[in-house]
A and B are shown apart, each in its own frame.
Chain A
Amino acid sequence: MFTSVDDVSARLAETGYLASPAVATTVFLAARLGKPLLVEGPAGVGKTELAKAVAQVADARLVRLQCYEGVDESRALYEWNHAKQLLRISAGRGESWDETRTDIFTEEFLLPRPLLTAIRGDEPTVLLIDETDKADVEMEGLLLEVLSDFQVTVPELGTVTATRRPFGVLTSNAGRELSEALRRRCLFLHIGFPEEELERRIVRLKVPGLGAALTESVVRVVGALRAMDLRKVPSVAETIDWARTLLALGAGTLDETVVRDTLGVILKHQDDIQKAAAKLDLDAL
C-alpha cells in the first residue's frame, strides 16, 4: 500500500490531510503489519478525516460503522432478511421443508452490515469503526474476531474469511476505557494537538485567503489557550473555524476587540471565555 513513511505523508498531503510524523509512521506500520489502527484523541483533531484520507489515497472503498449505545450484531455484522425469507417460503408451495430450508439460508437472504461488507469485498477497503467508545462492551467482543483474524462466522453459512484484509481504523474519544483485549489487537495512535508549525500549515491549507501574519497570530493565540486550564480547550477544527470567521470579518490583524468579539467561536463555555479574557488581558484597554 505504501512504500515508506515519507510516501505516506506525501500522499496524504495530496488529499489535503497534513499528517504529523507520528501519524504517518503509525499509518505506515498499520499497513505494513496488517493490524488495525486504534486512534484516540480529543474531538476535532481529524481522527475520522484520517480514515477518509487513507481510503482516498489507497483508492479504497470506505466502509463505515458508526457506533452508538446499543449498536448490536444485526446492525454491525449481518442480518437475515426475514421478510424475503417469508415470501420465499410462501412462494414455494409444493416444496419439501428440506429444500426450502437449504434455500432460505443462502447469501441471497443475507443482509450484510458494515463489518461483513468490509470482509467480503474483493476490492481494497478501509473499514472505519467510528466512536468505538460509544458502543457497549458486548460489541467489543464481536469486534475481536473481526479485527484479529478478519473473519466472521455466520452459523448457517460457515466462516467468511477476508480474501483481502481491510485497513481497519477505530476511533475513540476515550469516553469509556476500551477493553485491553481490543487494544491489544490494534496499533495505538494518539492524535494530540499539532505542533505550531504543522497547525500553521493546516490553517494555510484550509483557509488559504488568510494572511501569513494573521495565521501565525491565530495559531499562537490558540496555542496559548490550550496551555490554560480550560474546561474545553480549542481543537484544530475550532482553529480553522476561527480563521474562517476572521477571514469573513475581513480582519487584518488581531487586536483586543476582534479577539473579544470572536472568542465564542473557539471557546464553548462561558467560564472558559471569562477565564481566557482575563488571561489574555482583553480588558486592559
Chain B
Amino acid sequence: MTDVGDRITGLAAALRAHGVRIGTGETVDAARAVEALGLADRERLREGLAATLLHGPGQRVLFDPVFDLYFPRGVGGPEDAPRDREALRDRLAEALAADDRAMMARLAAEAVDGLGGYGSSPGSDGWSAYQTLDRLRPQTLLARVRADVRGRDGNGGAGFADRLLDDEIRRRIEEFRRLVGAEARRRVAERRGRDEIARRGVRPTADRVDFLIANRDQLTELRRAVQPLARKLATRLAARRRRAARGTIDLRRTLRSSLSTGGVPMRPVLRRRRPVRPELVLLCDVSGSVSGFSDFTMLLVQALHDQFGKVRVFAFVNRLDEVTGLLDHGRADPDGLSARIRAEATLTGWHGSSDYGVALGEFAERYGGAVGPRTTVFVLGDARTNMSDPNLPAVRELARRARRVYWLNPEPRDRWGTGDSAAPAYAKLVEMHECRTAAQLSALIAGLLPV
C-alpha cells in the first residue's frame, strides 16, 4: 500500500506543479477513494481520483496525462511486438474501422515500442511520439478505413449519416495519436523518473499558455473559450455593478433630511449614481509577434459588448484603422479574424513592422473624437517600437482625455525595456499590466473594466 500512497502523493504533487490547488484533505480523500474502489479497474480508479483531487472541468486535460504516468497501463514494452510497419498499419486500419479502443491502445504501445525508439539499441535511449507517428502515418489510412467501414455496412454509403464518416474517422485517428503521445511519455518516464516528465512533458492548460509562444492549436482552443469566459466575466461585472450601486452616503442630503427628525439622522441618504454605460476603446497591435494575444482580447471584448454603451476597436501595425465592423457578431468567424483584419483594413504603410509612435499619432489625429471623459482605453501590445520614436506626447494626450488608460503587455515584466521595448517609458504615463496568459487576462479584465 505504501507504493500506492507514494503514487497518490506524487500525482498530487505533479498536479500542484501545474497550478491545480490540492490540499492535504484532498489527498487523504483520494487515498480513501482508492481503498474503496480497489486497484482492479483502471478507469474507475481514474474517475475516483479525478473526483477527489480536481475542482473544475478545465483541470481534467491536465489530470489525464499525469494519471497515465503514475498509474500506467502496463510496465515495459509489449512482448514479441512485430517490428513490421505494414502489418501494424493493417491492424491499425482494422481497429479504426471497428472503433475498437482497447485494440488501438495496444497498437499504440506496439507502435511506440517498434517505431518510436531512438538512440543506441538494444534498449533505446528514449521514445518519440513524433517519430512514431511520422513513420506510421496513421492519417494516410483514412481512405482505406472509409472503404472498410462502408464495405462492412454493405450499403455502399447510402445513408445520410454516412457523410459524417470522414470526420468520425479523423477523430478516431486523433484519438490514436493522443494514445501514442501518452504511451511515449510513459516509456520515457520509466527511464527518466516520472516526477520530472509529469512536470515538463505534460502540456499546461490553454489558459496558462503564454500568448507569445502559443501554437495554432492552443490559440484555436483559446478562441473556443471566449464565449464561456465572457459569460463568466459578465456575471462578475454585474456583481461589481450591483455592489457599486449601493453607493456612499450623501452627507449634505442626509443632514438636510435629519432636520425633520430633530437633527437625528434616522435615514441615511445615499448618493445617487448616474446610470452611464461605460464606453470602451481598444487599440490593438496586430503585427505578427503579438497577434495571437490581440485576436483573443478583441474577441473577448466583443463578446462582452452588451456590457458597454459603445465599444470601438482599432487595429494597427504602423498605420491604424478602425475594425469594429469586422468584429460584428453575425460575421464573427473567429478563426479567420486576423486574416480578415489584415485584408480589409489599412494597417501598414511603407514597411511591415510595427511602429507605435506613428500609429498612436494617427489615432490622435483621425479618431481623437472617439475618446472622451467616459471612455476607458485599453492598449494591447508589446511596446516594441522597432527603434522609432515612441511618440510619448500622443500617449500623454490620450491619458489626459480618457477616463482611464490601461496598457496590457503580453511580455514578461522582466523583458520590458530590453532591446527596442519602450515599455518603461509608456508605463510612466499610463498604467501598464503584464498579461501573458488567458488566465491573467481574465483576472485583469474582471478587475479593470469600468462598471
A285 to chain B, nearest CB (A): 11
0/1 per residue, B200-235, Cβ < 8 Å to A? 000000000000000000000000100110011001
- Report how far A177 CA is from B330 CA in the complex, Å: 28
Contact with B along A83-116 (1 / 0, CB 8 A): 0000000000000000000000000000000000
The answer to whether the Cβ of B33 comes within 8 Å of any Cβ in the partner chain is yes
User: Is A176 in contact with B235, judged by CB distance below 8 angstroms?
Assistant: yes
Say whether B56 contacts A183, CB under 8 Å: yes
Known contacts A21-B47, A187-B52, A189-B51; A254 and B57 CB within 8 A of each other: no
Is the CB–CB distance between B52 and A216 below 8 Å? no
Chain A residue at minimum C-beta to C-beta distance from B332: A271
- Of residues 243 through 276 on chain A, the ones whose CB sits less than 8 Å from some CB of chain B are 253-256, 259, 271
Interface contact A32-B36, CB-CB below 8 Å: yes
Which residues on the B side are within 8 Å of A221 (C-beta)?
160-161, 164
Instruction: Determine whether the beta carbon of B163 is less than 8 Å from that of A188.
Output: no
Known: A26-B51, A188-B55. A21 touches B44 (CB 8 A): yes
* Binary per-residue interface labels of chain A (201-225) against chain B in the complex, 1 for a CB within 8 Å, 0 otherwise: 0000000000001001100110110
A231 adjacent to chain B (CB < 8 Å): yes
Q: How far is the CA of A62 from the CA of B368 in the complex (A)?
A: 62
| Interface residue A52 (Cβ < 8 Å from any Cβ of B) | no
Residues of chain B with a CB closer than 8 A to A192's CB:
57
User: Are B51 and A184 in contact, CB atoms less than 8 angstroms apart?
Assistant: no
Most buried by A among B54, B55, B161, B227: B161
Within 19-43 of A, Cβ neighbours of B (below 8 Å) are at: 21-22, 25-26, 28-30, 32-33, 35, 40-41
Could you say which residues of chain B place their CB within 8 Å of the CB of A29? 33, 36-37, 48, 51-52
Tell me whether A175 and B232 are in contact (CB under 8 A).
Answer: yes
Name A147-192 residues within 8 Å CB distance of B.
174-177, 180, 183-184, 187-190, 192
Please report which residues of chain B, range 127-179, place their CB below 8 angstroms from some CB of chain A when the two chains form the complex: 159-161, 163-164, 167-168, 171
Can you list, as one digit per residue, whether each of B49-82 has a CB less than 8 Å from chain A (1) or not (0)?
Answer: 0111011110010000000000000000000000
Known contacts A35-B29, A227-B171; decide if A28 and B161 are in contact (CB<8 Å): no
Check if B232 sits within 8 Å of A255, measured CB to CB. Answer: no
Complex formed: what's the CA distance from A128 to B54 in Å?
21
B434 interface contact, C-beta 8 A? no
**A contacts with B, residue count (CB < 8 A):** 44
Whether B32 lies near A25 (C-beta < 8 A) is no
Q: A29-B33, A271-B330 are in contact. Are A21 and B43 (CB under 8 A)?
A: yes
From B36, B60, B160, B236, A217 is in contact (CB under 8 Å) with B160
Contact A174/B228 with A28-B36, A183-B55, A220-B161 known, Cβ cut-off 8 Å: yes
The docked-state distance in angstroms from the alpha carbon of A5 to that of B38 is 11
Contact with A along B256-298 (1 / 0, CB 8 A): 0000000000000000000000000000000000000000000
How many B residues touch A, CB cutoff 8 Å? 41
Q: Is the CB of A220 within 8 A of B168?
A: yes
Interchain CB contact under 8 A, B232 and A177: yes
A215 to B167: give the CA distance in the assembly, Å: 19
Q: How far is the CA of A267 from the CA of B43 in the complex (A)?
A: 33
Distance, CA A5 to CA B51, complexed state (A): 14
A231 to chain B, nearest CB (A): 7
B413 at the interface (CB under 8 A from A): no
Knowing A26-B47, A184-B26, A254-B160 are in contact, say whether A231-B227 is a contact too (CB < 8 A): yes
Across the interface, which residues of B come within 8 angstroms of A216, CB to CB? 161
Contact status A190-B60, CB under 8 Å:
yes
With most chain A CB atoms within 10 A of its CB, the pick from B26, B48, B160, B330 is: B160
Which residues of chain B are within 8 angstroms of A35 by Cβ–Cβ distance?
29
CB of A229 within 8 Å of the partner chain: yes
Contacts of B55 in A (CB 8 A): 180, 183-184, 188
Q: Does A280 contact B (CB under 8 A)?
A: yes
B405 → chain A, closest Cβ, in Å?
A: 28
A176 to B231: give the CA distance in the assembly, Å: 8
Say yes or no: B232 contacts A25, CB within 8 Å: no
Closest-CB distance, B320 to chain A (whole angstroms):
30
Nearest B residue (CB) for A254: B160
User: Which of B163, B231, B236 meets A281, CB within 8 Å?
Assistant: B163
Most buried by A among B23, B37, B56, B227: B56
Assess the A180–B161 pair: CB atoms within 8 A.
no
| Contact between B168 and A40, CB atoms less than 8 A apart | no
Q: Choose one: B29, B160, B224, B232; the contact of A176 (CB below 8 Å).
A: B232
- Whole-angstrom distance from the CB of B44 to the nearest CB of chain A? 5
> Using Cβ atoms and an 8 Å threshold, which residues of chain B touch A176?
232, 235-236
B48 contacts which chain A residues (CB < 8 A)?
25-26, 29
Q: In the complex, what residues of A have CB within 8 A of residue B44's CB?
A: 5, 21, 25
In whole angstroms, what is the CA distance A221 to B37 when docked? Answer: 36
- Give Cα distance in the complex from A176 to B235, angstroms: 7
Q: Nearest chain-B residue to A183 (Cβ)?
A: B55
* B206 smallest CB distance to A (angstroms): 15
B60 engages A220 (CB within 8 Å):
no
Query: What is the CA–CA distance of A255 and B161 in the complex, to the nearest angstrom?
Result: 9
- Which of B50, B160, B239, B335 lies in contact with A255, CB distance below 8 A? B160
Contact A184 B23 (CB under 8 A): yes
B7-48 contact mask (Cβ, 8 Å, vs A): 1 or 0 = 000000000000001010110010011001100010110011
Complex contacts, B161 vs chain A, CB 8 Å = 216-217, 220-221, 254
Give CA–CA (A220, B163) in the complex, Å: 10
Q: Please, which residues of chain A bring their CB within 8 A of the CB of B164?
A: 220-221, 223-224, 280
When distances are taken between beta carbons in the complex, the residues of chain B under 8 Å from A30 are 51
B residues within 8 A CB of A227?
167, 171
Query: CA A216 – CA B164 in complex, angstroms?
Result: 12
B26, B47, B52, B335: which contacts A22 (Cβ < 8 A)? B47
Q: Mark B282-319, 1 if CB is under 8 A from A, else 0.
A: 00000000000000000000000000000000000000
User: Contacts A175-B231, A176-B236 given; 14 further ones with Cβ under 8 A?
Assistant: A21-B43, A25-B51, A29-B37, A40-B56, A174-B57, A183-B56, A187-B29, A190-B57, A223-B164, A223-B168, A229-B334, A253-B159, A253-B160, A254-B160
Return 6 A-B CB contacts under 8 Å, by A number. A5-B44, A183-B56, A192-B57, A213-B159, A223-B168, A227-B167
Closest 5 CB pairs of A and B: A254-B160, A217-B161, A183-B55, A25-B47, A220-B161
